[in-house]
């Protein structure tokens, strides 16, 4: 069946005309001038030139929309800690006064301070605080969000976070992918007993997965987090349940985290500033995605760049995400993440856009979105721009004129 033909699929639900399309299907931006984009039952049914439509637009679709500017695939934020309580603005001030990330963490700040706030919040309050952040991301073009746990650090509060993440998706009508990140930091009640805490993390996982709350498993493999051996134990538990893994890898030092992701056939290694060439080769062989998080790089004023040339040389896909979190990346715009990736990491605007769509979807194991192609999900964003490169150019402002998820326009 040719899904680019209304005669074989029936009348379309919607048809957008007039804008240029950046399909990202093939080389370059995949540009189609004076394009047409149609959808039916939540999937794209026609993507091509307006002049090649198989008939009068008024007879082809229930709704015909005249547009201008450009249309891209919806943006995919593949790494967020969006569900949290409170903020850490005071820590931001401390860093500007000279305190390091490690200094703040060892003084009882950092992740553990957000843990206290999350534990004190009830489910309704946590949802109430999290929804505005999700809405901000959607308003700037995001159509899929990943949300991690990791600020509960006990069974009930990790469960609460994952439940709230699911509620964010239900409330906003979007696809939220949940990631279990209980191995994020050592909670106070397990002080000096990290192996015992990993035992607990592994014990909680089957119960949370059984409730349908876990799509993937993550850990923080770092000197101030968990060792490669402890991370391996978490990954083995995930593999036993058939869950994919990803990792906060090689952010502050090279502990071989990205190579561990590759060994387990994981979806992605995230941060990756200190990743070695050997680990890059392993990622290339396994198909893992390198998720670049320029927001944290920017806020922490890091200087060690990820091995970008090695990723390009070995064909490792590079995704871009916000890492939205209260401590090191209070970033509420995928477009701003793209701009920071261009500025700090020297990605081209095309690389940044692919990183926020095609490769970000791959980092979540999703093959049904990220490009504009018939048969894919009808997730797309309309932009008031003259060329797609502007998405990686403008600092701030409002460029999105409409965002559609499964063909449904967000209010």
Binding residues for N-formimidoyl-L-glutamate: 151, 325, 327
Query: Which residue ranges are tagged as binding site for Fe(3+)?
Result: 79, 81, 248, 323
Kindly state the tokens that stand for 54. Answer: 């198989």
Rg of the Cα trace of the chain? 21
Annotated binding site for 4-imidazolone-5-propanoate: 88, 151, 184, 251, 328
Give the position of tokens 């993937």: 216
Q: Please give the annotated binding residues for Zn(2+), written as ranges.
A: 79, 81, 248, 323
Give CA separation, 406 vs 11, 140, 190, 215, 367, in Å: 16, 17, 44, 20, 15
In angstroms, the CA 143 to CA 123 distance is 24
How far is it, in rounded angstroms, from Cα 304 to Cα 328? Answer: 16
**β-strand 289-292 against 268-271: which pairing, if any?**
parallel
Q: Where are the alpha helices (DSSP H) in 74-193?
A: 89-96, 101-106, 111-120, 123-139, 155-172
Binding residues: 79, 81, 88, 151, 184, 248, 251, 323, 325, 327-328
Q: How far is CA 241 from CA 155, 196, 210, in A?
A: 18, 21, 10
In sequence order, what are the residues at sequence separation of 6 or more whose Cβ sits closer than 8 angstroms to the Cβ of residue 390?
349, 383, 399
350's CB contacts (< 8 A; 6+ apart) are: 28, 29, 388, 389
Secondary structure of 342-378 as H, E, C letters: HHHHCCCHHHHHHHCCHHHHHHCCCCCCCCCCCCCEC
């Amino acid at each position: 069946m040719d899904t680019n033909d209304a005669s074989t699929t029936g009348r379309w639900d919607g048809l957008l005309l007039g804008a240029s399309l950046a399909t990202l299907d093939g080389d370059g931006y995949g540009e189609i001038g004076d394009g047409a984009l149609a959808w039916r039952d939540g999937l794209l049914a026609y993507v091509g030139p307006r002049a090649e439509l198989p008939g009068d637009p008024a007879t082809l679709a229930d709704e015909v929309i005249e547009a201008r500017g450009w249309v891209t695939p919806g943006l995919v934020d593949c790494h967020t800690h969006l569900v949290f309580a409170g903020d850490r603005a005071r820590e931001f001030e401390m860093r500007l006064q000279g305190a390091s990330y490690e200094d703040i963490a060892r003084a009882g700040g950092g992740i553990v301070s957000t843990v206290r706030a999350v534990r004190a919040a009830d489910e309704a309050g946590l949802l109430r605080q999290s929804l505005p952040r999700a809405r901000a991301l959607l308003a700037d073009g995001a159509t899929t969000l990943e949300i991690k746990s990791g600020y509960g650090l006990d069974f009930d509060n990790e469960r609460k976070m994952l439940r709230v993440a699911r509620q964010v998706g239900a409330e906003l009508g979007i696809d939220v992918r949940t990631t279990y990140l209980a191995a994020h930091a050592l909670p106070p009640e397990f002080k000096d007993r990290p192996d015992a805490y990993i035992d607990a993390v592994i014990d909680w996982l089957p119960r949370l997965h059984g409730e349908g709350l876990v799509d993937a498993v993550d850990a923080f493999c770092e000197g101030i987090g968990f060792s490669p051996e402890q991370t391996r134990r978490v990954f083995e538990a995930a593999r036993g349940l058939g869950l994919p893994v990803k990792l906060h890898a090689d952010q502050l030092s090279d502990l071989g985290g990205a190579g561990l992701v590759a060994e387990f056939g994981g979806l992605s290694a995230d941060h990756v500033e200190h990743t070695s060439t050997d680990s890059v080769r392993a990622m290339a062989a396994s198909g893992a995605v390198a998720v670049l998080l320029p927001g944290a790089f920017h806020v922490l004023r890091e200087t060690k760049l990820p091995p970008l040339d090695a990723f390009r040389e070995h064909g490792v896909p590079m995704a871009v995400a916000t890492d939205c979190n209260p401590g090191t990346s209070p970033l509420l715009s995928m477009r701003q993440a793209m701009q920071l990736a261009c500025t700090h990491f020297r990605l081209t605007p095309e690389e940044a856009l692919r990183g926020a769509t095609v490769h970000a979807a791959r980092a979540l194991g999703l093959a049904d979105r990220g490009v504009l192609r018939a048969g894919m999900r009808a997730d797309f964003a309309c932009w008031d721009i003259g060329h797609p490169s502007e998405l990686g150019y403008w600092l701030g402002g409002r460029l999105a004129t409409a965002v559609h998820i499964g063909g449904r326009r967000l209010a």
